[in-house]
Structure 1
Amino acid sequence: MANESWHHATLALQLIAIDPGLGGICIKARSGPVRERLSQMFPADARRIHPAISDEALYGGLDLSATLARGELVKDTGLLSTSGPLLLTMAERASTALAARLAVALDTSNDHTLIALDEGAEPDEALNPKLAERLAFFVDLSDCALRDCDEISVPPLAVRGTATISPDTITQITRIAEELGIDSLRAPLFAIRAAKALAAFNQRTEVIAEDVQLACAMTFAHRATRVPEEPQQEEQSPPQNQSDESQDNGDNNSLNLPDELLLEAVRALLPDNLFDQLAAQKARAGRGNGTGAARKGNRRGRPLPSRAGRLSDGARIDIIGTLRAAAPWQTIRRRATGREGLHIHSSDIHIKRYEEKSDRLLIFTVDASGSSALTRLAEAKGAVELLLTQAYARRDHVCLIAFRGTEAELLLPPTRSLVQTKRRLAALPGGGGTPLAAGMLTAFEQSAQAARRGLTPTIAILTDGRANIALDGSVDRKQAAVDAQTVAKSLRAAGTDAIIIDTGNRPEPALRNLSQILDGAYLPLPRADAERLSKSVATVLES
């Protein structure tokens, strides 16, 4: 894999040079000889960006020394003011604000490309996902040794944008992205552009099957959120029919490439710990970070750096920040007006800002049905007790819901009473059907009430996933699954954080799909005891 990763890294840099519309590449590698050799392929005119770069350096600003020397306004040119490649070092440390600014630059113009050097040592140390989404390629060189690296030799670049691709192939690429659980349209667009760039790189005017396979592998593997199951033999006949049809319509330039070949090319590059990486990304994105949501204000909370702004109702002026902004202009303003004293303009006004954290509510939704009681209910109770202790130490509110039989029951409304919560949990009986949708709906109602009171709710669902009771109380496994998905869509639309802990003896695919609908983390924990269960959940919640 090391040689293949190196090959993909060098090839990706060449494709970006052919088509800047590919956005760029994120290279995960610590500083060392491997990255040093790869840097020989970086564009010579690439401008280096540090994670702590200021807005003035990005967009341009006042050149104070030149202004004072000349007696007239002189401005610097920012890095984003001119087109060309950008090199972001220590990309894992880039703030959300910097990631947003670079993302806008990539969205609004194809004149910029970005090479992000990710030096993160831990899974949750990574480039901001919103910025990474705008880069076509990702390569991990962490396990690549110097002996695995070929010598750098860059052939002359082909003419940009000369290759063509058939509409059928575009449809197929989009379908493969959907099967891999990729919900962003940027991914298939990048795959199409990469396939065209590969054809141009090899001096071809038409995209061939090998171009599509390699393009999908390089652009989809790091974006996949699920691994498609192997197809049954009887399901392989439709591609043959499609092939016959495309041969009859010989003028559409279809490649007749089976979907399974594309999927296999992507599967070969999928990391073994795909789902662990996805859970780490969700934790880094700020879901369940151990505190409530951050809320900006102008009256109370933790002070934030002041910002230029206008005085309005409730706003408080930052005198020190205002004076600091006005100080460099005093000599120029005095000469212009001929008046002594302090000159304050409206553009100098800085407003105080504060940030306060809301309390978090952990809503534990526990499966107490017969199937769960016979297997993992005891471990689930023990895990919840350990999590309750951690929540109490953080002064979080907790809420306890159990679902079994045909309905869900609110055992304990939001409280900070650890003793009372443990007592209710210990008395929780087991048995009956699995009304998963009812449990989720009750949790949704509690989260909505909590949000109205200013709390930040997080739902933790512990279940084996064998839902068989619909919302109307009927025994209907199919309708029960549909009802659970409907409630999950409502939770996602409300922006409620959620985590599903699969406590069954075997991972349940339906629960993994449900977590994707929730846009929440999924933890399959078969054969885990109470302590391991609690530690895994606490890791995702960043306790």
Structure 2
Amino acid sequence: MAPVSPPRHDRLDAWDDALTSLQLLQLDPHGFGGVCLRAPHGPVRERWLRALASLGLPLVKVPGSADAERLLGGIDLAHTLQTGQLRMQAGLLQQADQGLVCLPMAERLQPALLAPLVQALDSGQVPATHHHTAPCATRFGVVALDESLPDEPGVGAALQERLGLWLDLQDLSPSDIDAGLNDGMNIGSDDDLQVRLSPAALSRARAQWPQVQASDTQLHALCASAQALGIGSLRAPSLALRVACAHAALNGRSTLDDEDLGFAARCVLAPRATQWPAEPSQEQASESPPANDKPPEPPHNLEPPEPTPNEPPPPADATDHRADDPPPDTAPPEPTAEDLQDMMVAAALASLPPHMLDALAMQQGARSSHTSGRSGQTRAGQQRGRPLPPRPGRPGGHARLHVLATLRAAAPRQRLRQVAPVAAPADLRAKHTATESPRRRIAIRAEDFHIQRYQQRSSSCLILALDASGSAALQRLAEAKGAVELLLQQSYARRDSVCIVAFRGASAQLLLPATRSLVRAKRAMTGLPGGGGTPLALALKMAHEQAAQLQRQGVTPILVVLSDGRANVTLQGLGGRAQAQSDAQSWGQQWRASGHRALWIDTSMHPDAQAQHLASTMGASYLPMPQVQAQRMARAMDSLRTGPA
């Protein structure tokens, strides 16, 4: 299921924005918080990283195996154990002062490292630890390399919020970069990729930056655009203003223009969007002047005076003026805050991928439902999984001793634990030669013990409730079959499964128990008849029973309902629309009480209020899809499975 690729000129604009972001980093490495780059391993990302290295800024890479002491500073364990004297070492954050911290695989940064990193970004100093009595001053920016797949969570929200520039180069290929010139900058090869500002240009931009002024109208437009895109944090428009002013300084301007605001909208506001802008309300429309209000026309009895013989005729364009046109020598009116807001929102929406509408709609529904059940929920374990930072504790049972952390905890206390050696008998002393030195043992106490921990991810199961009733059932079932095949092809490596419940006539049928077999799924959905009534309550009841069984097995259940929501069969298999709707509402409330996530795909020709009400009762995200498409449906299911809980 490959996402729709944006047009080529949009991809080139994304690369141009990526190069401009490098110049902003050179202008101020830590003033914007940093850059969040979403791009897979490949020549495009390597070319951008080589351009980053050419800026000449101090660049410190934080390896994935780094712990809190390596990041913040602590004891030099090797030297301390060798000499018996306590020796401290500077952390990576302190070494990156006035430079950049590069985080490969930033989406896997553990909370134990994310918290002090974010704290250092906010305060400008490394927080104090049990080894340091006072914090150390440091100022740095962060380059977070997001290498997550489309079905995996990205960089942590706390770190993302503080990174001003967000770049997405996933759809960019080397052939796109080799295709053109942007702003006179040759980006055809690595040799001529020159983004580093000259010393004169850098000093000129830094001198121009404090002089850049933003009008009240532009400030209002920034905040209104952020609000229209669903951005609740004030940090985003503040960073957008700072980025726009820096962009203007790079171009030698002392005031902001549309180009500066558009760049800030694309790189700061658009990636943070959580909703599509709402349409103008009726109240706002009523405030605008009515369309039939026209300016007063001049009296019809007044005619232009005839030119005298000694007077030249008026110019041809002078007679073309309308009465409501401004004089030709007047400047065009300044854009209003609404005009600037529309421009910035349009620039932000133009940079979003085509499938963002479905994702934002689903996220909005998920936030309103307050449901849980995220796919791949993490749980702490002590046997296997992703290693977590060790914690103090006693080994025993399934808890394993973390030797290195135990030694680190015991090293600072060795001098306090030294005792006078016990005198050995004379016959034993005679066996030792004069060249032999007494052995030094490390004194370890119970309070030094640290145990190893691991993080495990549970698998998930997508319960698909298919409405096989009605005249359009065959088309829905065919597209649902294609979506299930796409999901199973992608979910094999994650060990996720699919369960299918089909309902039509007077009953609901467990068409396919939870399975990862693509062959079984194809066989089960082949030849499924369509038509008849809509026993929606029976389908929700069966889905609830399957979810309870999966949860007992340690699997996270997620429900996707593909229906128009017009239930007309009761739990007893009898007709009656009112009772059928009441039964469906009852089982929808029980699903919401279970706390699992759900998605309702409405197949009506127009968004149906009844389906929206049922989705709200279930705590499900609502997505209208009159023409069911396999790829769009599979993408929506995958976004639900991997989206934030």
**In which range does the TM-score fall when normalised by the shorter chain?**
0.5 to 0.7
Aligned match of 1:459 in 555, 558, 561?
558
In structure 2, do the counterparts of structure 1 residues 207 and 450 end up closer, same or farther at CA, with 3 Å as the change threshold?
farther
Q: How does 1:165-184 map to 2 (within 5 A)?
A: 172-180=221-229, 182=231
Contact 2:497–2:514 (Cα < 8 Å) also in 1: yes
> Does the 8 Å contact 1:506/1:526 carry over to 2?
no
Q: Name the residue aligned to 1:155.
A: 202
Q: Are 1:505 and 1:527, in contact at CA under 8 Å, matched by a contact in 2? A: no
Residue 257 of structure 1 aligns to which amino acid in structure 2?
D
1:190 aligned partner:
239
Q: 2:160 aligned with 1:138, yes or no?
A: no
Q: What is the aligned residue count?
A: 505
8 Å Cα contact 2:33/2:142 also seen in 1: yes
Q: What's the offset of the Cα at 1:106?
A: 5.8
SS in 2 for 1:61: strand
> Relative to structure 1, is the Cα distance of residues 256 and 204 closer, same or farther in structure 2, using a 3 angstrom cutoff?
farther
Q: Give the alignment partner of residue 265 of structure 1, picking from 322, 339, 347.
A: 347
Q: 2:445 corresponds to which residue?
A: 345
Q: Distance in 1 between matches of 2:386 and 2:278?
A: 51
Equivalent residue for 2:63?
50
Q: 1:316/1:267 Cα in 2 relative to 1: closer, same or farther (>3 Å)?
A: closer
Structure 2 match to 1:430:
531
Contact 2:464–2:559 (CA<8 Å) still a contact in 1? yes
User: What CA distance in whole angstroms lies between the structure 2 residues aligned with 1:136 and 1:439?
Assistant: 49
Distance in 2 between residues matched to 1:452 and 1:459, nearest whole Å: 11
Structure 2 vs 1, CA of residues 332 and 178 (structure 1 numbering), >3 Å: closer, same or farther? same
State the Cα distance separating 1:430 from its structure 2 match: 3.2
Q: Any unmatched runs of 5+ in structure 1?
A: 242-252
Q: 1:46 to 1:328 in 2, by over 3 A?
A: same
Once the two structures are TM-superposed, the CA of residue 346 in structure 1 deviates from its matched residue by 3.9
Computing the radius of gyration from Cα coordinates, the structure with the larger value is: 2
Report the residue type matching 2:187 in the other structure. R
The secondary structure found in structure 1 opposite 2:351 is coil
Is this contact kept in 2: 1:358–1:454, CA < 8 A? no
1:8 counterpart = 2:35: no
Alignment of 1:56-135 (within 5 A): 56-68=69-81, 71-81=84-94, 83-88=97-102, 90-91=104-105, 94-97=108-111, 100-101=114-115, 104-105=118-119, 108-109=122-123, 111-117=139-145, 120=147, 128=155, 130=157, 131-135=159-163
Which structure has more helix as a fraction of its residues? Answer: 1
1:26 aligns with 2:36: yes
| Cα deviation digits, residues 405-461 of structure 1 (max 9, x gap) | 9xx9764499669999988997775344696xx689658855874587463333242
State how far apart, in whole Å, the 1-side matches of 2:403 and 2:214 are: 60
2:177 is paired with a residue whose SS is: coil
Task: Tell me which residue corresponds to 1:250.
Answer: none
Q: 1:521 to 1:60 in 2, by over 3 A?
A: farther
Q: Do the aligned partners of residues 133 and 166 (structure 1) sit closer, same or farther apart at CA in structure 2, a change above 3 Å counting?
A: same
Task: Check whether the contact 2:479–2:628 (CA below 8 A) recurs between aligned residues.
Answer: no
Q: Secondary structure at the match of 1:155?
A: helix
Distance 1:51 1:522, change over 3 A: farther
State the Cα distance separating 1:500 from its structure 2 match. Answer: 5.8
- Residue 132 of structure 1: how far off its partner (Å): 3.6
Give yes or no for contact 2:19–2:195 (8 Å, CA) kept in 1.
no
Contact 2:373–2:596, Cα closer than 8 Å, also in 1: no
Counterpart for residue 39 of structure 1: 53
Secondary structure in 1 matching 2:74:
coil
Match of 1:295 among 362, 366, 379: 379
Give, in whole Å, the separation in 1 of the partners of 2:492 and 2:108: 33
Residue identity (%): 30
Superposed CA deviations along residues 274-304 of structure 1, whole A, max 9, x for unmatched, are 579999x9xxxx9976xx5342245x66695
Q: Given the two structures, how large is their TM-score scaled by the length of structure 1? A: 0.66
Distance in 2 (alpha carbons) for counterparts of 1:392 and 1:31: 28
Counterpart for residue 217 of structure 1: 266
Deviation per CA, 1:24-46: give whole Å up to 9, x if none.
Answer: 1134464555543343336x233
Please tell me the residue identity of whatever aligns with 2:72: Y
* Per-residue Cα deviation, 1:350-400 (whole angstroms, up to 9, x for no partner): 225455665644422222342642632355368669989999999978765
Distance in 1 of aligned mates of 2:402 and 2:105: 35
Moved more, 499-508 or 7-16: 499-508
SS at match of 1:271: coil
2:381/2:453 contact within 8 Å kept: yes
CA distance in 2, matches of 1:15, 1:34: 14
Asked if structure 2 preserves the Cα contact closer than 8 Å seen for 1:315 and 1:352, the reply is no
Contact 1:61 1:75 in 2 (8 A): yes
Counterpart residue type for residue 69 of structure 2: E
After superposition, the CA RMSD in angstroms is 6.0
How far apart, CA to CA, are the structure 2 residues paired with 1:392 and 1:64? 43
Contact preservation (8 Å) 1:209, 1:255: no
Who is 1:244 aligned against? none
Counterparts of 1:431 and 1:376 in 2: how far apart (Å)? 14
TM-score for the superposition, normalised by structure 2: 0.57
Shift of 1:212: 3.3
CA distance in 1: counterparts of 2:546 and 2:108, whole angstroms: 32
**For residue 128 of structure 1, what is the amino acid of its counterpart?**
V
Instruction: Quote the Cα distance in structure 2 between the aligned partners of 1:396 and 1:218.
Output: 34
Q: Is contact 1:410-1:442 (8 Å) kept?
A: no
Shift in alpha-carbon separation, 1:449–1:392, aligned structure 2, 3 A: same
**Cα deviation code 1:116-140 (max 9, x no counterpart):** 345x596568952534443221234
- Asked if the contact 2:29/2:99 (under 8 Å) is kept, the reply is no
For residues 33 and 357 of structure 1, what CA distance do their matches in structure 2 show?
34
SS of alignment partner, residue 167 of structure 2: strand
Kept after mapping to 2: 8 A contact 1:385/1:422:
no
What is the CA–CA distance in structure 2 between the aligned matches of 1:261 and 1:307, rounded to whole Å? 51
> Relative to 1, partners in 2 of residues 1:223 and 1:369: Cα closer, same or farther, differing over 3 Å?
farther
Contact 2:80 2:411 in 1 (8 A): no
